[in-house]
Amino acid sequence: MIKVEILICTINKGVVRIPDNLIAPREDVSYVISYQYTDERYLELIPQELLERKDVKFQKIKGRGLSANRNRALAVATGDIVLFADDDARFSAEGFDVISSTFESNPDIDVAFFQASTYTGRPLKNYPDSVVDYPNNLNMEISALEMACKRTSIQNRIHFDERFGLGCDCLTCGEQDIWLITAERLGLKMRYFPKKIVETSTMLKQRMIYIDPGVQRSFGAIAWYRNGRHAYVYCFKYALRAARSRMAHFLPMFRQMLRGIHYIRHNSSVS
């Protein structure tokens, strides 16, 4: 029996949403809830039922930063397969069955990517219709909640870069991109499967590249992590295309991308 463990990261008021998103206890599913809080008053909001469930491991951490929270959740994980989720992720018994059967049928893979939808059933993205190996043939942005990993393939090997993500002042997204680049460099075997496993209310922050300075800075930093000094040319061309298509102004966008490159070059990973 494959044991699936969901690593749910939340902060402050978000903890009150979690009980409604958990399924009834079953032998092969467990949860780690990593709860960040910025003030002791938020501790009063922790639902008692989360503390009483035997399939839930609950840990409290004062501070903020989604990447740091995910790293701490993974550090205490013990399941065969782990998934990263936010407090708005809604799983189902059918979704867990899909995850288990996929790894049983594909014992060679380290990471599997699946589909997610909104609460109303609308697909989160335009997903491929067939099984595709990553990264060779998969032209799709990957979100953490679409990803299931063999714990032994990633624990103590890959972390979420704590310079990136929600709760960071400069690089407000992109932690998943950095994680995937690192996974590729380590040679992990990754594959996409056209099956839905989860529902969410989350909007994809990367799609705000034309209007959000934090996303633009993250874009520049990711480009540097992936391409080194070629990132300058890559960002220049991207900002130029955006300006020509009238999606953004060239100088403000390019300036933010350069800020992201400068930040990652002069600030080491803190995880």
Give the global pTM. 0.93
| CATH for 187 | 3.90.550.10
Same domain, 117 and 140: yes
Same domain, 81 and 188: yes
Is 262 within the bounds of a domain? yes
State which residues form the domain around 146. Answer: 4-204
Average pLDDT over residues 146-161: 97
Q: How many domains does the chain have?
A: 2
* 202 pLDDT above the threshold of 70: no
Same domain, 149 and 238: no
Same domain, 62 and 177: yes
* 154 pLDDT above the threshold of 60: yes
Residue 194's SS3 state is strand
- Among 153, 183, 204, the domain boundary falls at 204
Same domain, 162 and 181: yes
Same domain, 261 and 164: no
Same domain, 114 and 142: yes
- pLDDT for position 268: 82
Is 259 within the bounds of a domain? yes
Is 271 within the bounds of a domain? no
- pLDDT for position 271: 53
Same domain, 37 and 75: yes
Give the whole-angstrom CA distance, residue 35 versus residue 14: 9
Query: What DSSP state is assigned to residue 3?
Result: P
* 269 pLDDT above the threshold of 90: no
Is 131 within the bounds of a domain? yes
Question: What residue type is assigned to position 164 of the chain?
Answer: F
Is 198 within the bounds of a domain? yes
Contacts 24+ apart (CB under 8 A), 154-157: 154/74, 154/82, 154/110, 154/111, 154/183, 154/188, 155/74, 155/75, 155/77, 155/82, 157/186
Same domain, 24 and 137: yes
Digit-coded pLDDT (tens) for 39-72: 999 999 999 999 999 999 999 999 999 999 999 9
Is 29 within the bounds of a domain? yes
* 113 pLDDT above the threshold of 80: yes
- Among 189, 204, 219, the domain boundary falls at 204
Same domain, 168 and 213: no
Is 246 within the bounds of a domain? yes
Same domain, 50 and 175: yes
- Among 204, 224, 243, the domain boundary falls at 204
Mean pLDDT estimate for the chain: 94
- Write phi, then psi, for 137 (nearest 5 degrees): -125, 10
Same domain, 25 and 149: yes
Residue 197's SS3 state is strand
- pLDDT for position 139: 73
